[in-house]
Amino acid sequence: MIDNEKVIREIGTPTYVYDVAAILDRIKYLRGKLDADILYAVKANSFIVKEIEEEIDGYEICSKGEFDICNSLDINRGKMVISGVHKDRPSIEEMLESYDDIRKYTIESLNQWELLTDVAKNCGRHIHALIRLTSGNQFGVCEEDLKYIIAHNDEAVIEIDGIEYFSGTQKHSIKKINKEADKLITLIDTLRVELGFTVREIEYGPGLPIFYYQGEEFDEEAFLDEVKLALDRIKEKGVKLSLEVGRSLVATSGRYYTSIGDMKSNKNGNFVILDGGINHLVYYGGTLGMRIPHFQVVRVTEDEAVNLNDEKKIEKLNKSVDEIPKELLVGTEDENGLITYNLHGSLCTVNDILVKNINSRRLKLGDVFIFENVGAYSSTEGISLFLSRDLPKIALCDKEGNLRVVREVIKTSNINLPRY
């Protein structure tokens, strides 16, 4: 369990903290609920890959960079599926020349199949692969190409175990998942009838959803029960089923801490400037702060961290704002003692809006916003190089609540600096 006060006092802001015990529990929960192997999509968060190694069934690795991270952490290569739309020759050569224990590769196109075959042959390797079926975009191959590869593949070099299929993230329509299951089942049958090919394995990315915003209701348990029924239908075909999961595995385990660096008002509203921003925080579907994610605000006083909604601490909170000189007060309280604020980051773009129109007790410089559900994609998808702002620290929280910083602040000015 993450202790907010400890994070703020020991590490400061901006910081991400990931709760490792929560992720391990989540892996067990999803595996049990869906009765399938769980592969972790490393792109969602590369900072917890080592911590989950014992528990996770495998890793879906989509770039040479992700491979390098996992390999540097000594991750068991027998758990690595080397996926991703573009595998370049030098990267494939390096992996195949150096290692013969990588579990599997995916084939994303006819060219990539030829490349893999050529490099594997040159290195004297026999590898296992899945062919990625497209969902109608730049990823994977169409059914015709898939059949062509199966029919012309040199099994002595590449053993094709089955199919990979991922059609998008944040899928909450069980109808869509059932349709995808139907499509895979039909394909399994077609390949057997037309080519005498047995699909032994399906690696499917169901894009399991996370509900990020206040007011949203989602019965995950019931949804997963339905997903399981769809998956069971695929398994009835006698295939081994693995699920590629990113968001749903790690999102809820992460918190992002950012504190108020400045506040001001003008005729358009009250503005809070945080020491983070959209360079650090990405909520799927949350453009321009129009939807309110789950968050809390705390004020760290001399002896404790007080949640601004804690009615029992009103006196203490009021006392702490009494110290603010009148001319520096931002916004006017309504009859309920609340002020409407817009939360912004520190970037030079009007789009740097974290949340619009929140009603809060009076805020103060230094108050800390703690955003929930940021374990997936925030630290990897943000526009982190913009404005040469520093990258935040990252800490892991173990089951005893101990914090361990696994990335110190990184200065992006070093990355954005031309060198002559």
Ligand X SMILES: Cc1ncc(COP(=O)(O)O)c(C=O)c1O
Pick the binder of ligand X from 11, 27, 41, 391 (CB under 6 A).
41
* CB contact at 8 A, 23 and 53: no
The region of 177-185, 241-249, 252-260, 332-340 touching ligand X under the rule CB under 6 A is 241-249
Quick one: which of 150, 153, 148, 154 has its CA closest to 162?
150
Q: How many residues does the chain have?
A: 420
Contact letters (x/-) for ligand X, 188-227, by CB under 6 A? -----------------x-xx-------------------
- Smallest separation, CB 266 to ligand X (Å): 39
CB of 362 to ligand X, least distance (A): 38
Helix (H, G, I), strand (E, B), or coil: what is residue 273?
A: strand
| Region 136-175 residues binding ligand X, contact defined as CB under 6 A | 166, 169
Task: Tell me: does residue 247 bind ligand X (CB under 6 A).
Answer: yes
- The enclosing H or E element of 359 equals strand 353-360
Stretch that binds ligand X, among 38-46, 50-58, 335-343, 410-418 (CB under 6 A): 38-46
Nearer to ligand X, 169 or 360 (CB): 169
Closest to ligand X by CB, 201 vs 244, is: 244
Site for ligand X in 383-412 (CB under 6 A): none
Shortest Å distance, C-beta 36 to ligand X: 13
Q: Which is nearer to ligand X, 121 or 171 (CB)?
A: 171
Cis? peptide before 392, omega within 30° of 0: no
Residue 263 in contact with ligand X, rule: CB under 6 A: no
CB 67 within 8 A of CB 38: no
Say if CB 40 and CB 57 are below 8 A apart: no
Which of 291, 253, 235 lies closest to 379 in space, CA to CA? Answer: 253
For residue 246, state whether it binds ligand X (rule: CB under 6 A). yes
Q: Give the bridge partners for 296, in sequence order.
A: 370
What character string, x for contact with ligand X (CB under 6 A) and - otherwise, covers 58-97?
A: --x----------------------x--------------
> Please, what is the minimum distance in Å from the beta carbon of residue 327 to ligand X?
48
Cβ-based nearer residue to ligand X, 81 or 355: 81
Give the pairing of strands 254-266 and 269-274. antiparallel
Q: Does 277 bind ligand X (CB under 6 A)?
A: no
Residues in Cβ contact with 45 at an 8 Å cutoff, skipping those fewer than 6 apart: 18, 246, 250, 254, 375, 376, 377, 379, 380
Buried b / exposed e along 200-225 (16+ C-beta atoms within 10 A): ebbbbbbbbbbbbeeeeeeebeebbe
Nearest to residue 115, comparing CAs of 149, 65, 147, 74? 149
Q: How far is the CB of 149 from ligand X (least distance, A)?
A: 18
Based on the shown chain and the rule CB under 6 A, indicate whether residue 369 belongs to the binding site for ligand X: no
Give the whole-angstrom CA distance, residue 410 versus residue 389.
9
Q: Which stretch binds ligand X (CB under 6 A): 25-33, 174-182, 244-252, 321-329?
A: 244-252
Q: Which residues bind ligand X (CB under 6 A)?
A: 41, 43-44, 60, 83, 166, 169, 205, 207-208, 244-248
